[in-house]
Amino acid sequence: MTFAMVVARRPVSSGSRGRVKYQAALEQLARLHFASRELFDGDLYIRIVWFHSIERVGDVDNIIKPIIDAFKGVVYLDDESIVKCLSQKVYTKKDFRITQAHLPSDIYEELIALLGSEEEHIFYVEVGQLTSHSVYFGPIDEGEL
Protein backbone atom coordinates (compact mmCIF):
# COMPACT_ATOMS: atom_id res chain seq x y z
CA MET A 1 0.00 0.00 0.00
CA THR A 2 1.32 3.44 -0.95
CA PHE A 3 0.34 7.06 -0.70
CA ALA A 4 1.18 9.40 -3.59
CA MET A 5 0.36 12.94 -4.54
CA VAL A 6 1.48 15.62 -6.97
CA VAL A 7 1.84 19.23 -5.86
CA ALA A 8 2.08 22.19 -8.24
CA ARG A 9 4.30 24.49 -6.22
CA ARG A 10 7.90 25.06 -5.35
CA PRO A 11 9.10 22.93 -2.45
CA VAL A 12 10.37 24.99 0.48
CA SER A 13 13.74 24.35 2.08
CA SER A 14 14.19 23.50 5.72
CA GLY A 15 15.62 26.95 6.52
CA SER A 16 12.94 28.97 4.73
CA ARG A 17 10.90 31.65 6.52
CA GLY A 18 7.74 30.32 4.89
CA ARG A 19 8.26 26.78 6.13
CA VAL A 20 5.43 26.73 8.72
CA LYS A 21 2.81 28.01 6.25
CA TYR A 22 4.11 25.65 3.56
CA GLN A 23 3.95 22.63 5.87
CA ALA A 24 0.40 23.52 6.91
CA ALA A 25 -0.64 23.65 3.24
CA LEU A 26 1.04 20.29 2.54
CA GLU A 27 -0.59 18.76 5.60
CA GLN A 28 -4.01 19.92 4.39
CA LEU A 29 -3.41 18.47 0.90
CA ALA A 30 -2.22 15.19 2.39
CA ARG A 31 -5.34 15.01 4.58
CA LEU A 32 -7.52 15.40 1.47
CA HIS A 33 -5.60 12.73 -0.45
CA PHE A 34 -5.27 10.35 2.50
CA ALA A 35 -8.75 10.81 3.99
CA SER A 36 -10.18 7.93 5.99
CA ARG A 37 -7.14 5.70 5.53
CA GLU A 38 -5.25 4.15 8.40
CA LEU A 39 -1.90 5.77 9.14
CA PHE A 40 1.17 3.89 7.95
CA ASP A 41 3.35 2.33 10.60
CA GLY A 42 6.46 0.20 10.52
CA ASP A 43 9.42 0.69 8.21
CA LEU A 44 8.56 3.15 5.43
CA TYR A 45 10.18 4.76 2.41
CA ILE A 46 9.59 8.18 0.92
CA ARG A 47 10.31 9.28 -2.64
CA ILE A 48 10.33 12.98 -3.58
CA VAL A 49 10.79 14.09 -7.20
CA TRP A 50 11.02 17.83 -7.85
CA PHE A 51 10.39 18.83 -11.47
CA HIS A 52 11.47 22.37 -12.31
CA SER A 53 11.81 24.46 -15.46
CA ILE A 54 14.20 26.99 -13.93
CA GLU A 55 17.85 25.98 -14.21
CA ARG A 56 19.13 26.84 -10.72
CA VAL A 57 16.51 26.29 -8.04
CA GLY A 58 18.14 25.13 -4.82
CA ASP A 59 19.39 22.05 -3.05
CA VAL A 60 17.48 18.79 -3.30
CA ASP A 61 18.46 17.76 0.23
CA ASN A 62 16.94 20.86 1.85
CA ILE A 63 13.38 20.08 0.69
CA ILE A 64 13.13 16.69 2.39
CA LYS A 65 12.58 17.56 6.06
CA PRO A 66 9.66 20.01 5.60
CA ILE A 67 7.78 17.42 3.52
CA ILE A 68 8.46 14.59 5.94
CA ASP A 69 7.39 16.74 8.90
CA ALA A 70 4.17 17.84 7.15
CA PHE A 71 3.04 14.21 6.76
CA LYS A 72 3.64 13.24 10.38
CA GLY A 73 0.33 12.29 11.99
CA VAL A 74 -1.43 12.46 8.60
CA VAL A 75 0.17 9.73 6.48
CA TYR A 76 2.32 8.01 9.10
CA LEU A 77 2.44 8.00 12.88
CA ASP A 78 5.98 9.26 13.22
CA ASP A 79 8.67 10.33 10.78
CA GLU A 80 11.02 8.00 12.65
CA SER A 81 9.34 5.26 10.58
CA ILE A 82 11.01 6.60 7.41
CA VAL A 83 14.05 4.37 6.96
CA LYS A 84 14.68 4.93 3.26
CA CYS A 85 14.52 8.20 1.34
CA LEU A 86 15.07 9.12 -2.29
CA SER A 87 14.98 12.76 -3.31
CA GLN A 88 15.60 13.88 -6.86
CA LYS A 89 15.54 17.08 -8.95
CA VAL A 90 14.56 16.92 -12.61
CA TYR A 91 15.28 19.92 -14.82
CA THR A 92 12.47 19.67 -17.35
CA LYS A 93 14.36 21.48 -20.12
CA LYS A 94 16.73 18.47 -20.32
CA ASP A 95 15.73 15.04 -21.58
CA PHE A 96 14.15 12.81 -18.94
CA ARG A 97 11.90 9.79 -18.90
CA ILE A 98 9.06 8.79 -16.58
CA THR A 99 7.94 5.20 -16.28
CA GLN A 100 4.35 4.58 -15.30
CA ALA A 101 4.98 1.04 -14.06
CA HIS A 102 4.24 1.70 -10.38
CA LEU A 103 2.19 4.89 -10.56
CA PRO A 104 -1.58 4.88 -10.15
CA SER A 105 -3.11 6.03 -13.44
CA ASP A 106 -4.82 9.09 -11.91
CA ILE A 107 -1.53 10.31 -10.37
CA TYR A 108 0.34 9.65 -13.63
CA GLU A 109 -2.24 11.58 -15.65
CA GLU A 110 -2.16 14.48 -13.18
CA LEU A 111 1.64 14.58 -13.30
CA ILE A 112 1.75 14.48 -17.11
CA ALA A 113 -0.88 17.24 -17.34
CA LEU A 114 1.06 19.45 -14.94
CA LEU A 115 4.33 18.80 -16.76
CA GLY A 116 2.62 19.97 -19.96
CA SER A 117 1.41 23.16 -18.28
CA GLU A 118 3.23 26.39 -17.51
CA GLU A 119 4.03 25.36 -13.92
CA GLU A 120 7.66 26.11 -13.05
CA HIS A 121 7.72 23.76 -10.04
CA ILE A 122 5.95 20.45 -9.50
CA PHE A 123 6.79 17.78 -7.02
CA TYR A 124 5.70 14.22 -6.55
CA VAL A 125 5.70 12.52 -3.16
CA GLU A 126 5.23 8.82 -2.49
CA VAL A 127 5.23 7.03 0.85
CA GLY A 128 4.97 3.29 1.21
CA GLN A 129 5.72 0.24 3.27
CA LEU A 130 9.28 -0.93 2.82
CA THR A 131 9.26 -4.48 1.46
CA SER A 132 12.99 -5.15 1.61
CA HIS A 133 15.82 -4.05 3.83
CA SER A 134 18.36 -4.54 1.06
CA VAL A 135 21.21 -2.10 0.76
CA TYR A 136 22.28 -1.26 -2.79
CA PHE A 137 25.67 0.08 -3.80
CA GLY A 138 26.59 1.50 -7.16
CA PRO A 139 24.44 3.54 -9.55
CA ILE A 140 21.08 4.53 -8.12
CA ASP A 141 19.37 5.10 -11.43
CA GLU A 142 18.47 1.43 -11.84
CA GLY A 143 15.08 1.82 -10.13
CA GLU A 144 15.70 -0.11 -6.93
CA LEU A 145 13.43 2.10 -4.81
User: How is the chain split into domains, by residue range?
Assistant: 2-129
pLDDT at 143 > cutoff 60:
no
Spatial contact of 17 and 69, defined as CB atoms under 8 Å apart: no
CA 81 and chain centroid, separation? 16
Give the model confidence (pLDDT) of 69-119 as tens digits: 999 999 999 999 999 999 999 999 999 988 887 888 999 999 999 999 999
- ∠ CA 86-33-65 to the nearest 5 degrees? 35
> Phi and psi for 93 in degrees, rounded to 5?
-85, -5
CATH topology of domain 2-129: 60s Ribosomal Protein L30; Chain: A; (3.30.1330)
Q: Which residue has the higher pLDDT, 36 or 46?
A: 46
What was the pLDDT predicted at 112? 94
List for the chain the helix, strand, coil content (%; round to 5): 30, 25, 45
Give the model confidence (pLDDT) of 10-42 as tens digits: 999 988 899 999 999 999 999 999 987 899 999
**DSSP 8-state class, residue 72:** B
> Phi and psi for 9 in degrees, rounded to 5?
-165, 165
Beta bridge partners of 121: 52
pLDDT band, very low/low/confident/very high, at 142 (cuts 50, 70, 90): low
